[in-house]
Amino acid sequence: MSMPIYLDHNATTPLDPVVLVAMLPWLESQYGNASSRHEYGRQARQAIDEARQKVAVAVNAHPTEVIFTSGGSEANNLFLKGAAACLKPGILAVSATEHPCVLKPAAQLVRQGWEVRSLAVDGTGRVKIEDYAEALLDKPKMLSVMLANNETGVVQDVAALANAASPTGAWFHSDAVQALGKLAIDFRAFNGAGVHAMTLSAHKAGGPKGAAALVLDKRVELQPLIAGGGHERGLRSGTENIPAIVGFGVAAELAAVRVAELPARMRAMQVKLESGLAGLGARIFATDVTRLPNTSYFAFPNIDGETLVGKLDREGFAVASGAACSSANPESSHVLRAMGIAPDIARGAVRVSLGVANTEAEIEQFINALQVTVGRLQGLTAIS
């Protein structure tokens, strides 16, 4: 049985062959602990240093600003909880469409005396400027607004939001996990606008699972989540996952090169896909604002998203309903609810997210299969 055509790259991406080749020695013969003082350890330390340099270069940061973690969720938690532990409780403002790994640690901070302010979004998924300005009047101590949404692909003007917040003195964080390799990321420019921390993840850009980074302005004081031997400038103790970190470095390096041409190619496929979707009567979300060039989020009236995803899987296409990280949650997408999408439409949401290897021929095959599948489901709905 052949595997389905993969159209779920916002959940995770295939490991790039070049990345795998770079990782293999660190899974086989080069097994030293980077804290050891012999040759094996020195080689491991050098490999981490080189990977840190590559990640930093990819997003125009300084290597000392790159803190390696096990994933984007840990990096987001490290910033929110780590910064909160060094501040007196106050207001934490987060956009209503954040990933659960921002929303849930924010909710946990309420038990420590913090007040969480949800920043409203409009019908396109962008932060409402009026609500944001009102929130700033309350002088939040921390803010977190993601650069690109994992479900809709909507890109926020993070630089402008951070710049507006600068007079408050708040620490500003952005989850940029979905942006690496799809958008050009310049941390130095973001930092100049008032962004103090940014989260990246390897497996969203052709790298391995198990490696991510918090890119952190060194003026921000954090208390580590994991105490121990003082790894990662004392901010993330634990023996480093050297194979994954090496892979992350190479993946970031490749992403920085490909971002010059890949978005345009994915945008062309996105246009083709959405033209086909519109022809079938789909409602496509957030089409009036800047989105990631690989992401299309849509729904068909009276068709359940989970049902459609299952049918398409059997037809040979791997897509998603909502976010993979919250796939166990049967409720409709909190992102769409925040955008004011009616629950009956939101429950039908399906996401297609394209990657490096996808082709226009695959898009045509998908639209053809979708037409047949949707027709069958609509027929069943009419009978019932």
Which CATH number do you get for residue 107?
3.40.640.10
Residues 186 and 225 occupy one common structural domain: yes
DSSP class of 209 = T
Indicate which residues carry an active-site annotation: 325
| pLDDT single digits (tens) 226-237 | 999 999 999 999
Residues 32, 76, single domain; the answer is: yes
Verify that 179 and 289 share a domain, yes or no: no
Note the pTM of the prediction, 2 decimals. 0.94
Q: How confident is the model at residue 379 (pLDDT cuts 50, 70, 90)?
A: confident
Compute CA distances 296 → 147, 222, 360, whole Å: 17, 36, 15
Same domain assignment for residues 233 and 340: no
The answer to whether residues 193 and 162 touch, using CB atoms and an 8 Å cutoff, is: yes
Q: How confident is the model at residue 2 (pLDDT cuts 50, 70, 90)?
A: confident
Both 270 and 190 in one domain: the answer is no
Does one domain contain both 35 and 81?
Answer: yes
Residue range of the domain that includes 301:
5-13+261-383
pLDDT tens figures, 196-254: 999 999 999 999 999 999 999 999 999 999 999 999 999 999 999 999 999 999 999 99
Torsion of CA 224, 227, 228, 229, to 10 degrees: 10
At 329 the pLDDT is 55
52 token code pair: 């840190």
Last residue of a domain, one of 198, 230, 258: 258
46-66 per-position pLDDT tens digit:
999 999 999 999 999 999 999
Q: What's the whole-number mean pLDDT along residues 324-332?
A: 58
Q: Between vectors from CA 73 to CA 201 and to CA 70, what angle results, nearest 5°?
A: 60
Query: CATH code at 286?
Result: 3.90.1150.10
User: 258, 292, 318 — which closes off a domain?
Assistant: 258
Q: Are residues 276 and 354 in the same domain?
A: yes
| % pLDDT > 90, the chain | 94
Q: What's the distance, Cα to Cα, between the start and end of the chain in Å?
A: 33
Q: Other C-beta atoms within 10 Å of 264: how many?
A: 9
Same domain for 108 and 252? yes
**Number of domains observed in the structure of the chain:** 2
Instruction: Judge if 323 and 358 occupy the same domain.
Output: yes
Looking at the structure, tell me whether residues 151 and 298 fall in a common domain. no
Sheet of 212-216: strands edge to edge?
Answer: 66-69, 212-216, 197-201, 171-175, 142-144, 91-95, 115-119
Domain endpoint, select from 258, 276, 306: 258
**Do both 139 and 163 map to the same domain?**
yes
Average pLDDT over residues 315-332: 72
Six-digit token pair at 367?
């639209």
Task: Round to whole Å and give the CA distance between 78 and 198.
Answer: 11
Do 51 and 9 fall within a single domain? no
